[in-house]
Structure 1
Amino acid sequence: MIALAPAPAAAIDDAIDDAVSRIRGRADALGAAFAELGGAIERASAGGKRFRPALVAASFQAFGGTPADAPGLYPVAAAFELLHTAFVVHDDVIDHDTMRRGIPNVSGEFRQRARSRGADASGAALLGDAAAILAGDLLLHEAVRLVALADVDARQREALLALVDDAVFVSAAGELADVENAVSAEYADSAALLTAAHDKTAVYSFTAPLSAGAVLAGASRESIAALADAGRHLGLAFQLADDLIGAFGTPAQAGRDAGGDLREAKRTPLIGFARESEDWSRVHEAISVAHTGPIAVREAQRVLDESGARARLVALVDDALTDARLAASDPSLPSGAEQLVTKIASAIARRIP
């Protein structure tokens, strides 16, 4: 999402690699199973877009920061990538997923380990989930450790730790609400679904990394608050665009078969809006059979579109992006920060299917 010059991108990768190598080194000394967990963490941390640490660096530069004068920049940026990886690993446990990007994830690897040692299906699932939970815990610990030990002044450290604290708490609240909405007999209203969508992504993916870069650059409290407001709107727009991709995106956009969210009958804000339409009975019927194949998925997409839910969600994304640009026009923000927000907003708009 954010294009960086080669040097900062390489510096971010190096900081992430250093942190993961530390985990791997500590794990190697604590037994064969734990050493294998260290390897699984290393694989889980590899690749990806790494746009959260990119946001930290881009925000820092937008406020006129000079990397050579801020030795804590890249470790702090790396912390947000480890935080993301931790959430992904834990999400896979919550969703009972054993694969990611076409290969076994941490849980999948340890299920295989358990089966190779004669465990039954229940035992394999127990070990797999335990390993993934512990891997996520270690990544969360390392993320906080990176910020706690970063070469920054005391005021910056306090502000950065507060950002991480908020990111963890709000994201956890959003994830819990999302799961509760999914299992409850009654559908949550669209307002509750929108809150969950915001909380599980916006703070840790946008508000906190953007604010962290501003903190590291020595920005004023007024500037950081204005940027955080823009980040909040960007984060909501990003998640809602993701929901649209999950329902209407191409396989290339979604990274899986088209209409995956419809096949899984996910209760997203899109479905919340459909429930408020006169076509809800038709939508509900179509979604209830979407898991049967691509023809049923296309029918669910058609009915959802006709209900007006898709148009309402697209309009909400547009409104959130407009609000983000408005927040970024605050006079306390330098032009570079406003340009950064505008660039991100444009990138999110291009994702809407």
Structure 2
Amino acid sequence: MTVGGASTTADLGPPDPFDEPTQDGTPATLAALERDLPTAVTADLADYLADRRHACAEIAEEYAGAVDDLTRFVLAGGKRLRPTFAWWGWRAAGGVDAPAAVLRAVSALELIQACALVHDDLIDDSATRRSEPTVHARWAARHADAAWAGDPTRFGAAVAILLGDVALAWADDMLHESGLDLAALARVRPPWRAMRTEVLGGQFLDVQGHASSDSSPETALRISRYKTAAYTVERPLHLGAALAGADDRTVSALRRYGTDLGVAFQLRDDLLGVFGDPAVTGKPAGDDLREGKLTLLVALSRAHPDRRTAAVVERAVGDPDLDVAGVDAAREALVALGVVDDVERRITELTASAVDAVRGADAPTLTAPAPERLADLAIAATRRAR
């Protein structure tokens, strides 16, 4: 079938009334899709991006080549968490109709993510992402290898800015050309608009926190809320629920789940940024320390009364030449200060609160199997991987 002007990778039209449901009442067509939702999202993104490449080639083959780089970045990795949460927000609110349009709409969230990652890597001057050179680093190297005029670093930055902007613009296009009816598009507009403003606001707070002397735990948590939690879990769930026309109680429960889980997810990411295995994280060990990120770990260390041990961490934060010995020393200090245990405790409490929002005694009645899937996602998103 055709959705939003581009052919989808599978016929996921409205459920057939003769489609035999599964034991929990899910139409078999949806159950099949949900067995591997990340793969379905990736296929839909590939379909959409291939279609958009044609327009770029009409402008210039060089432009199409740059877009190919963006496409590889989008398709190469990631857990597709944002579309997955949006999908289950839709299903939790009783969504079953027009799954092809919904799949395309929620897949657009991956282009928001691509924009955020490409720009974030540039802001942090990160050399690698998913064990590969970052976009700005790769294009700077191409400039240098070709001996083009000008400064390779500035060229790489310019290309990264432009490709991130392309991803952001196409996210909007992909949503609005998804095949959703006008009523659904109207319902989804408020969470979509809020999400884009929040993620950019969170990025601004992160940049400002890096430059200013405001390094309180409250500031670190506010950055986590808006830079990651809101657009990773909370707003995708809100968006999915809005697609299904959810009532206020359902939206409130899903947003509570999303806020708590989103912060827990970021706190886990912060721990991985210091203690994670590069083979798992795709980034050099201790990179968050070198970049001087204001994480809750750093904020709690700075507020700790044991200034001698905290000074070991402080010397590591923002040191671009931090070696393995320096990373190990900072790790030992963070453990000795007890801030690692503090962050782990917060992750556990926030995850439990998130699950309670969708499965607890006061949770609204959500459509099966969404509550169980959301509980499973909460555990998976905050699991220790170090």
TM over 0.5: yes
1:294 aligns with 2:321: no
Partner of 1:146: 174
Distance 1:345 1:102, change over 3 A: closer
d(CA) in 1 for partners of 2:74, 2:124: 19
TM superposition score normalised by structure 2 = 0.82
Q: Which runs of 5+ in 2 are unaligned?
A: 1-31
Q: Which moved more, 1:223-232 or 1:9-18?
A: 9-18
Amino acid of the structure 1 residue aligned with 2:354: A
Amino acid of the structure 1 residue aligned with 2:113: H
1:332 aligns with 2:359: no
Q: Which moved more, 1:92-101 or 1:128-137?
A: 92-101
Partner of 1:161: 189
Report the aligned-residue RMSD: 2.4
Equivalent residue in structure 1 for 2:103, among 28, 51, 74: 74
Confirm or deny: 8 A CA contact 1:147 1:161 kept in the other structure: no
Equivalent residue in structure 1 for 2:87, among 53, 57, 67: 57
d(CA) in 2 for partners of 1:65, 1:81: 21
Query: How many residue pairs were aligned?
Result: 348
Partner of 1:270: 297
Distance 1:317 1:42, change over 3 A: same
Q: Which moved more, 1:81-90 or 1:144-153?
A: 144-153
Task: Give structure 1 regions of 4+ aligned residues with deviation exceeding 6 angstroms.
Answer: none
Deviation by residue 1:47-90 (Cα, 9 ceiling, x = unmatched)? 222222122223333444325x3442111121011111111111
Q: Classify the secondary structure of the residue corresponding to 2:67.
A: helix
Following superposition, the deviation at residue 169 of structure 1 comes to: 0.8
More helix by share: 1
Q: Which moved more, 1:232-241 or 1:206-215?
A: 206-215
Following superposition, the deviation at residue 252 of structure 1 comes to: 3.6
Equivalent residue in structure 2 for 1:309, among 339, 361, 366: 339
Amino acid of the structure 2 residue aligned with 1:341: L
Partner of 1:36: 65
Q: Which moved more, 1:218-227 or 1:332-341?
A: 332-341
Give matches, 1:1-353, under 5 Å. 5-6=34-35, 8-48=37-77, 49-66=79-96, 69-119=98-148, 123-184=151-212, 186-289=213-316, 291-328=321-358, 329=360, 330-334=362-366, 336-351=369-384, 353=386
Distance 1:180 1:286, change over 3 A: same
d(CA) in 1 for partners of 2:111, 2:336: 41
Following superposition, the deviation at residue 106 of structure 1 comes to: 2.8
Deviation by residue 1:286-333 (Cα, 9 ceiling, x = unmatched)? 441575422332221111111121122112212211221232234424
Q: Classify the secondary structure of the residue corresponding to 1:46.
A: helix
Partner of 2:25: none
Q: Which runs of 5+ in 1 are unaligned?
A: none
Confirm or deny: 8 A CA contact 1:53 1:209 kept in the other structure: yes
d(CA) in 2 for partners of 1:142, 1:257: 31
Amino acid of the structure 2 residue aligned with 1:170: E
Confirm or deny: 8 A CA contact 1:277 1:308 kept in the other structure: no
TM superposition score normalised by structure 1 = 0.89
Confirm or deny: 8 A CA contact 2:108 2:171 kept in the other structure: yes
d(CA) in 1 for partners of 2:194, 2:276: 31
d(CA) in 1 for partners of 2:333, 2:36: 48
Q: Which moved more, 1:283-292 or 1:307-316?
A: 283-292
